[in-house]
Amino acid sequence: MGRLVDISWDPLGISLVAELADEVNPELCEDFWSNLPFTVLQDHPVVSGESVYAWAPFISTAAIRHWEPINQAPVGRLRYSQATGNKFTVQYGKGLEPLSQPMLGTVQPEFLSLLPVMGRSVWESTFWSKQLIWVTVNRHGQSAKPSAQRTGGPDPARAFVDEALRIQTTEPEDIRTLRLGLVESAGSFGQYFTTWDFANGMLRDYVMYTIYPLLRLCDRLEAAHVVEALKAFDPPYSSFLGYVGLRTLEKFAGQLRSSVEHVASKDELRALLKGFLLYANRLCSWSYHYFPWYLGIFYQRPAYDAGFPGRWPTGKAGPTR
């Protein structure tokens, strides 16, 4: 039997118990367990069906022994995707993607009936209302509240981690100015939606599909090769993202490139990359949450009748700032 965790959603008043998949992914489950408790923003995917996910406040490179296709996973499955932002997922209905992700655990049967209510609420939050819904994960039976802990490591890794902790439950000002169109230097002919769209997509690709793979390459390449790759890949991303308003990210990226030139070991290099990723993942979380997915109401398939049309509830106003 795997270890048990308590998962709760505020302000929904929903709580449940799940069992970790210690027997099939012991290293991943240990990574997850050792970083409990935590509270982070809960969101809903917009392309993969009926599940919810949240960017976890740690960076895992644990060995993975067992993957499972999303479209074959049962209701109640827990997943943990290192490669797509260190996201913790709870599946509450039918999954659509054939992509396989690491199995983390399973919600206990007596709590499965709560999942659709939670899922619908999170979908409405992500898609249009932008209400902040928080997910808290604790070791089962423990009432300890998540607390911010400084993490050791070389400068400026500590600065990266400290800022990640600060914005874990507080929207970064750079994200706010971007989504409200307050960055007047970017955006053609006075509009800023295109800037916001490009920034959201590039931030995802930069963090999940460039920086995280470089961290994983530390296990296979010499440190000097990883450093050279970072110097080549980073500036096009971080310079553009700074131009559209993510100034802190641009500054941190410059500090990262400068610092990796002087690392004395792979452990120092990993600490710098992990600290930067911890901060950048939090930006991804906030950027994703506030992106105007509700524009999808104009691109809905006419025959769709599965009960989750994505339209604003009758009598309610549109999304708020």
Higher pLDDT, 249 or 302: 249
pLDDT in tens, 9-62: 999 999 999 999 999 999 999 999 999 999 999 999 999 999 999 999 999 999
The residues near 129 (Cβ < 8 Å, ≥ 6 apart) are 316, 319, 320
Whether the predicted pLDDT of 165 surpasses 80: yes
Q: What percent of the chain has pLDDT over 70?
A: 91
Shared domain for 195 and 242, answered yes or no, is yes
Whether the predicted pLDDT of 187 surpasses 50: yes
Q: Is residue 318 part of a domain?
A: no
Shared domain for 205 and 254, answered yes or no, is yes
Shared domain for 88 and 191, answered yes or no, is no
Q: Is residue 319 part of a domain?
A: no
Whether the predicted pLDDT of 297 surpasses 90: no
Shared domain for 237 and 116, answered yes or no, is no
How far, rounded to the nearest angstrom, does the alpha carbon of residue 274 sit from its chain's CA centroid?
A: 14
Shared domain for 88 and 179, answered yes or no, is no
Q: Is residue 312 part of a domain?
A: no
Whether the predicted pLDDT of 229 surpasses 50: yes
Q: Which residue range is the domain that position 285 belongs to? A: 157-290
Residue with tokens 């610092």, as numbered in its chain = 259
- Residue 14 host element (H or E): strand 14-20
Shared domain for 165 and 134, answered yes or no, is no
Tokens coding 251: 């500054």
Shared domain for 236 and 137, answered yes or no, is no
Q: What percent of the chain has pLDDT over 90?
A: 85
Q: Examine the fold and report which residue of 146, 165, 183 is the final residue of a domain before the chain moves on.
A: 146
Shared domain for 170 and 191, answered yes or no, is yes
Q: Is residue 249 part of a domain?
A: yes
Q: Is residue 109 part of a domain?
A: yes
- Is the N-terminal amide bond of 156 cis, ω within 30° of 0? yes
pLDDT of residue 320: 43
Phi, psi dihedrals of residue 192, rounded to the nearest 5°: -130, 5
**CATH (domain of 83):** 2.40.100.20
Shared domain for 191 and 254, answered yes or no, is yes
Q: Is residue 243 part of a domain?
A: yes
Shared domain for 282 and 221, answered yes or no, is yes
Cα within 13 Å of Cα(234), Cβ side? 24
Contact present, 241 and 202 (Cβ < 8 Å): yes
Structural domains counted in the chain: 2
Integer distance in angstroms from the first to the last C-alpha of the chain?
A: 45
pLDDT level of residue 296 (50, 70, 90 thresholds): confident
Contact present, 136 and 146 (Cβ < 8 Å): yes
pLDDT of residue 156: 87
Shared domain for 41 and 130, answered yes or no, is yes
pLDDT in tens, 193-227: 999 999 999 999 999 999 999 999 999 999 999 99
Contact present, 37 and 146 (Cβ < 8 Å): yes
The residues near 271 (Cβ < 8 Å, ≥ 6 apart) are 152, 153, 154, 157
Average pLDDT taken over every residue of the chain: 92
Whether the predicted pLDDT of 157 surpasses 80: yes
Q: Which residues pair with 221 in a beta bridge?
A: none
Q: Is residue 133 part of a domain?
A: yes
Once rounded to an integer, what is the mean pLDDT over residues 107-116? 98
Shared domain for 164 and 265, answered yes or no, is yes
Q: Is residue 317 part of a domain?
A: no
